[in-house]
Structure 1
Amino acid sequence: MDKKVWLITGVSSGFGYELTKQILEKGDIVVGTVRKDTNVQDFMRQYPDTFFRQFLDVTDVSAISDVVKNVYDKLGKIDVVISNAGYGLFGAAEELTNQEIDQIIATNLTGSIQLIRSVLPIMRKQKHGRIIQISSYGGQVAFAGNSMYHATKWGIEGFVESVAKEVESFNIGMTIVEPGGARTQFRYGSAQVANLLPEYNDNPAHAFLNMLNPENGLAAGDPVKMAERIIESVEVEPAPLRLVLGSQALEDTIQVLEERVRKFKEQREIAASTDFQE
């Protein structure tokens, strides 16, 4: 059986690491990107013929194109791309610095957009491909103290949903993965916290402090099972546009969307009042 070629960003920890581990175990080829030479040495030793490390900072747009080109030139195809690199930034909107805002947009949003744009010509030429964008149920549900994280996730979801319609005829499927809380370094290691202002103490904007403290209980999501569901989704036809992982994430999303629809329906008269009366 022909091995699939997977390109995955951010494989040194979290979902990226677990996805890479499982894909290599099933015998496929993974090109995994990292910013630093850490945590993937075991993959390089154990899978010298099927794991290929690439250094990449997804905020470097030209480097994204170079990596994609290198993968295609070396392996002749790219079957699946998992746009996984990203991080969380917590704090009230006015607590964030301009640099923190620019960095998370460049990483979570612009980096994901440019990765997808770079791979589309290859997948269109080879007449197949699957693109998986790791988002969050925070791409549908918003919490205080997470404004810029939500901005990047809501933004990338709109981008992917639009592009999915553009490339469907080329046999390219796109899936937005919306995990709930999981026991990964995203929550308990890589999350960044703004310089907090005392004015927001006892404010919903600082509720995330309880969530980030493992002593208050660990997240319900099992990253091993979540990775399994993501990998399985690649074989589903047609590609599911969204994949919510975690029972609480799904219930929260349904509740928020149902309330949003209810509020929209209440505006029918106002909306119609702005139409030309022919």
Structure 2
Amino acid sequence: MSNHWFLTGASSGIGRHLAELILAAGDDLTATARKPESLDDLAAKYPSQLRVEALDVTVKDDIAAVVARAQARRPVDILVNNAGGGVIGATEEMSDAEVEGQIALNLMAPIHITRAFVPAMRLRGSGRIIQISSASGQGSLPTSSLYHVAKWGLEGFSECLRQELEPFNLFVTLIEPGGARTSFSHNLQFASEIAAYRDTPAGHIRKMFETAGNELYTLDPQKIAQAIVDVATSDHPPLRVTLGGDAFGVVQAALQSRLAFLQSQEALARSVAFDS
């Protein structure tokens, strides 16, 4: 039997590749995009399988109605929270609107959408929730503090949710890709620059993003999308899937560094208990 997928951010990048794979496999798809006309070609090609919904995922009040229409069509088997975007700049350089926007888009939106689907999935006793995170959900880089806040938050939320929902045969999976060659990089926004940061690590990394070409984005989004489909449709999806040699290196280095530091602090950690 075919699956019914709900996919946010379907108009471009990994989301677009996912949409094409899902439909080509014969599954049903409810796809959301801020500009639904960007999916007109797929709607014409797959009129019975694809329903496109206009949705800005940061507008919480619009989520419930879109989810209700999707569920009325047929129960959703697989949710993919894919919509996202980045703002590059030192923390001080970011405006309040940029700070709040990063949290709204990359953290609160997937939380709200996930919560909207959980009750029906739990009652049905089946479902897959796929969160498109990033290697940035485990590592950190100057100029991306709010993106990291959102992705680290999504990782913690999803790890807890996995433990809550697995007894109901619901599986939550975090996808942690590295640099994919998609429009994401072209759509990066840059905070207003403060000159004092130009010769600091934050300034150097900002410059790298401003001037980067394809050499920074080596991953094939089609292969990433196929990996996501394979994981989402497996019998027992894992909690985390890291995709890309660059992502593997970032996550490995971050975990090794944290473990080494933790071990160096063991004596201090154990020193604060009551004396026996």
TM category, shorter: over 0.9
CA deviations 1:212-232 (Å, max 9, x no partner) are: 434472511100001000100
Question: Match of 1:67?
Answer: 66
Alpha carbons 1:187, 1:212 under 8 Å: kept = no
Q: 1:116 Cα deviation (Å)?
A: 0.7
Cα distance change, pair 271–214 in 1 and its aligned pair in 2 (3 A): closer
Matches of 1:56 and 1:88 in 2, distance apart? 19
Instruction: Give the counterpart letter for 1:181 in structure 2.
Output: G
Corresponding residue of 1:20: 19
Q: SS at the partner of 2:173?
A: strand
CA deviations on 1:102-151 (whole Å, 9 max, x unpaired) are 11111111111011111000101111000000010000010011000000
Give the Å deviation of 1:252.
2.0
- The answer as to whether partners of 1:136 and 1:178 remain within 8 angstroms in 2 is yes
Per the alignment, residue 44 of structure 2 pairs with: 45
Q: Tell me the secondary structure at the aligned position of residue 38 of structure 2.
A: coil
Moved more, 230-239 or 28-37: 230-239
The answer to whether the Cα contact below 8 Å between 1:210 and 1:216 also exists between their aligned partners in 2 is no
- Name the structure 2 match of 1:115: 113
**Deviations, residues 10-34 of structure 1 (Å, cap 9, x unaligned):** 1111111110011111110110001
Partner amino acid for 2:107?
L
> 1 CA distance for matches of 2:63 and 2:136?
25
- Where 1:38 maps in the other structure, the secondary structure is helix
Question: Residues of 1 paired with 2:214 and 2:41: CA distance?
Answer: 32
| TM-score, normalised by the number of residues in structure 1 | 0.96
What is the letter of the counterpart of residue 176 of structure 1?
A: L
**What amino acid does structure 1 have at the position aligned with 2:270?**
A
Q: Secondary structure at the match of 2:53?
A: strand
Aligned length: 275
Matches within 5 A, 1:61-140: 61-75=60-74, 77-140=75-138
Partner of 1:198: 195
> Which amino acid is 2:194 matched to?
L
Residues of 2 paired with 1:213 and 1:82: CA distance? 31
Shift of 1:201: 1.0
Q: What aligned pairs does 1:114-263 form with structure 2 within 5 A after superposition?
A: 114-188=112-186, 190-206=187-203, 207-215=205-213, 217-263=215-261
Code of the residue aligned with 2:31 in structure 1: it is: G
Taking the aligned partners of 2:72 and 2:36, their CA distance within structure 1 comes to: 23
Cα 1:216/1:21, change in 2 over 3 Å: closer
Q: Please report how far the alpha carbon of residue 208 of structure 1 lies from its aligned counterpart in structure 2 after TM superposition.
A: 3.4
Deviation at 1:62, TM superposition (A): 2.3
Cα deviation 1:164-212 (Å, max 9, x = unaligned): 0000011100100000001011112x21110111111122213133234
* Residue of structure 1 equivalent to 2:31: 32
Q: Which amino acid aligns with 1:20?
A: A
Matched to 2:98, the amino acid is: E
Q: Which amino acid aligns with 1:171?
A: N
Give 3-state SS (helix, strand or coil) of 1:174's partner.
strand
8 A contact 2:181–2:214 mirrored in 1? no
- Quote the Cα distance in structure 2 between the aligned partners of 1:246 and 1:213: 22
CA RMSD of superposed structures (Å): 1.2
Residue 236 of structure 1 aligns to a residue whose secondary structure is coil
SS at match of 2:167: helix
Q: For 1:130 and 1:223, locate their aligned partners in 2 and report how far apart those are by CA, in whole Å.
A: 21
The whole-number CA distance in structure 1 between the counterparts of 2:113 and 2:11 is: 18
Provide structure 1 residue ranges, at least 5 long, that are not aligned to the other structure.
none
Cα distance change of structure 1 residues 72 and 215 upon mapping to structure 2, 3 Å threshold:
closer
Secondary structure of 2:7 counterpart: strand
Secondary structure (helix, strand or coil) at the match of 1:131 reads: strand
Separation in structure 2 between the aligned mates of residue 176 and residue 82 of structure 1, nearest angstrom: 10
- What one-letter code is carried by the residue in structure 1 that aligns with 2:65? D
Aligned to 2:3: 4
